[in-house]
Amino acid sequence: MTTAPPAATGAITIDPWDPGYATSLTAEAIGELDATSVQLDLDVELPSERWRPVSPPATGLPAGGLIVADGVRRIEARVWVGDPSGGMPAPGIAASCAAGLVRCAPGGLAELAEVDVRRSLFTPSRHAADLDTWAGTYTAARAGGGTAEQLSLALQRQLTDLEVTLATRYRTASGPDDLLIVDGPLRGRAHLPRTVGYVKTHHAAYLKDPQTDVLTALRPGQRTPVFLMTTSWARHSWYLRLPTPSTAPWAGIARCEAAADLPRDAVIDLADHSAAILPGMAGVGYKDPRAPQNLVPIGGLEKVLRHRLGDPGLLYRALRTATQARSG
């Protein structure tokens, strides 16, 4: 019996260019890149001509608690993957991402429920192999192309998959009576039950007058009616206002998303719960410059996750050492 020889792998070299440049495409920006082609159905909850601010009924946390999911990502180095046959090397990134869950129990304190970290080498090259360093292994992962946007998108997809894995595993063990808030657009996570996407940064203004007048008239704790929006994907959405001392029209405004296939009553229930619960978790300015939209559980989780990513300088040196040893 004979076996095929292993595929040749390409040499990896570190690019000295600062990995932070040309890689600022965030999850929220990715979710709104196609906003110019948006289609809106404004009549989901109320006819568009009868839109008004909605004050949700008072409600506490669900019996199973509120779960907040978030993730962070970081590019540690830009790399080049060589072609053993003599072709042009392919670009790539060595990157880390971390995802976690915080559970807020009724009548209790928030607690860290799950955390996981992944390190990967993203490149379109078929010659890439796992890169072992003294700080951990960067697992080779194929990207759809070598542009900064394509590499960033591959990293973001891995982070989304990690968040989904953690949420599914935790909720399978904890039971069905909870509400999951995911930081950022719901894209890639819309199949998760009882889940709301929380978008705190606005890259596009979807509503037009007179619906925008309703949005800017919201008081803290109020929301707009639910509407259906479709770009390259469909989802229900609504805006809500968090407590803020600012009187600017968009101050304290966040946008929420829910799955497009949910029944009307189920979406309205999620919208009411979000508008009743989230204002009480609004960030405060003296602690977080992104307040009030950066919720307190999200801000705390982000600090934990960035710590779990490790020191970027040490990881960069580990990558340089590993690639030099491999090439030597």
Question: Is residue 35's pLDDT more than 70?
Answer: no
pLDDT at 27 (0 to 100): 53
pLDDT at 16 (0 to 100): 66
- Reported as a pLDDT band with limits 50, 70 and 90, residue 230 is very high
Q: Which residue carries 């109320």 as its tokens?
A: 46
Domain boundaries, the chain: 1-21+71-169+309-319, 32-62+178-282
Sign of the four-CA dihedral 145, 188, 186, 65: negative
Strand 39-41, strand 136-142: pairing: unpaired
Average predicted confidence (pLDDT) for the chain: 89
Query: pLDDT per residue over 106-153, tens digit each?
Result: 877 889 999 999 999 999 999 999 999 999 999 999 999 999 999 999
Averaging pLDDT over each range in 31-40, 53-62, 154-163, 290-299, which range is the top one? 154-163
The beta strand positions in the chain, using DSSP E, are 12-15, 39-41, 66-81, 90-104, 110-123, 131-133, 136-142, 179-183, 195-199, 227-230, 234-241, 253-259
Query: pLDDT per residue over 280-303, tens digit each?
Result: 999 887 778 887 988 999 999 999
Average pLDDT over residues 92-108: 93
**Structural Rg of the chain based on CA atoms:** 22
Q: Are 238 and 256 in contact (CB under 8 A)?
A: yes
pLDDT at 226 (0 to 100): 98
Q: Is 174 helix (H, G, I), strand (E, B) or coil?
A: helix
Cβ neighbours, 10 Å, residue 173: 8
Task: Supply the DSSP symbol for 176.
Answer: S
Query: 316, 303, 19: which is closest to 138 by C-alpha?
Result: 316
Task: Supply the DSSP symbol for 205.
Answer: -
Task: Supply the DSSP symbol for 76.
Answer: E
Classify 175 in phi/psi space as left (phi over 0), alpha (psi -120 to 50) or beta: left
